[in-house]
Amino acid sequence: MLSILKKIGQTMYRIWFYVLVALPIVVFFPFLLVATISEKTYTQFFWMARNLWAVPILYGMGCPPKVIYEEQIVRGKSYMLVANHTSMLDIMLMLKVSKNPFVFVGKKELVKIPLFGFFYKRVCIMVDREDTKSRTGVYRRAQRRLNQGLSICIFPEGGVPDDESVVLDDFKDGAFKMAIGHKIPVVPITFYDNKRRFSFTFFSGEPGRIRAKVSSFFETDELDEGDKALLREKVRNTILKELDEKNAMLRKREREQEVVQQD
């Protein structure tokens, strides 16, 4: 009986997420549409996406965000933002992390999501990872956005692993090749709790605080394309270390709770 009630609760929690995603888009649709007519108004669109969409979703899901900064993101400077990818909440939390306007590079399949997909294809850089020409075009479009003073955000795992026991999948080269080519700092960001709060498994999820950490940046001024693999692994190891430490703390806490229950 408890198992059935839990599944019902998780189903309602998931439905509520989609309501929260759609509602601000419907309410502010005319303003969002106007802000996407030209790339010159992207900063206005970003402000609305961050403050009128992402933040209400996070708090509406009962997932208040907490972000720790080892190094501050400077207003008006371009960066390559990279993070682990385990949840649909990753998009909202990334918008919370950076006040600096940035553009997502993401897979074209997200265009199929009702309402969200309409604006996604208008403001994001879409890539078909199976198409070499599409991947090449990403660099050209990213260059134009960087020239406009924006940052770029990529989830370098290239997708969400089907096996949720995978802590952090291997990173693809794209983000690091682009960062070196454009001489912009790479910002490693760790999302600690998103998988637990709202993973891609249907019967899962629960409210609670979601934390992110912005680690020290990796500068690329002195790097060339030959340093791409080393940079990729340094950034991945930074995020993996944070996740491993968090998991170790959780396991320790669980053992302590078991001891208390046995006493």
What are the per-10-residue average pLDDT scores of the chain (263 residues)? Answer: 85 95 94 92 96 97 97 94 95 96 87 85 82 72 90 91 86 93 96 94 92 97 94 97 87 69 61
Q: Which residue has the tokens 């090449």?
A: 136
**pLDDT value of residue 61:** 97
Please give the order of strands across the beta sheet that includes 102-107: 65-69, 210-214, 186-191, 80-83, 151-154, 102-107, 125-127
Here the tokens at position 14 are 């998931």
Helix or strand holding residue 176 (H, E): helix 174-182
Q: What's the one-letter identity of residue 151?
A: S
Q: What's the one-letter identity of residue 108?
A: K
Range list of β-strands (E), the chain: 65-69, 80-83, 102-107, 125-127, 151-154, 186-191, 210-214
**pLDDT value of residue 159:** 79
Three-state secondary-structure class, residue 203: coil
Phi first, then psi: give them for residue 153, nearest 5 degrees: -125, 130
CATH number of the domain where residue 20 is located:
3.40.1130
**Which residues are registered as beta bridge partners of 125?**
105
Range of the domain at 178: 2-262
**pLDDT value of residue 195:** 93
**pLDDT value of residue 151:** 96
Longest CA–CA span in the chain (Å) reads 65
Here the tokens at position 92 are 């909202």
Neighbours of 26 (CB within 10 A): 9
Number of domains in the chain: 1
**pLDDT value of residue 263:** 60
Question: Which string of DSSP letters, residue by residue, matches 16-32?
Answer: HHHHHHHHHHHHTHHHH
Distance CA 192, CA 208 (A): 12
- DSSP structure class, residue 252: H
**pLDDT value of residue 260:** 63
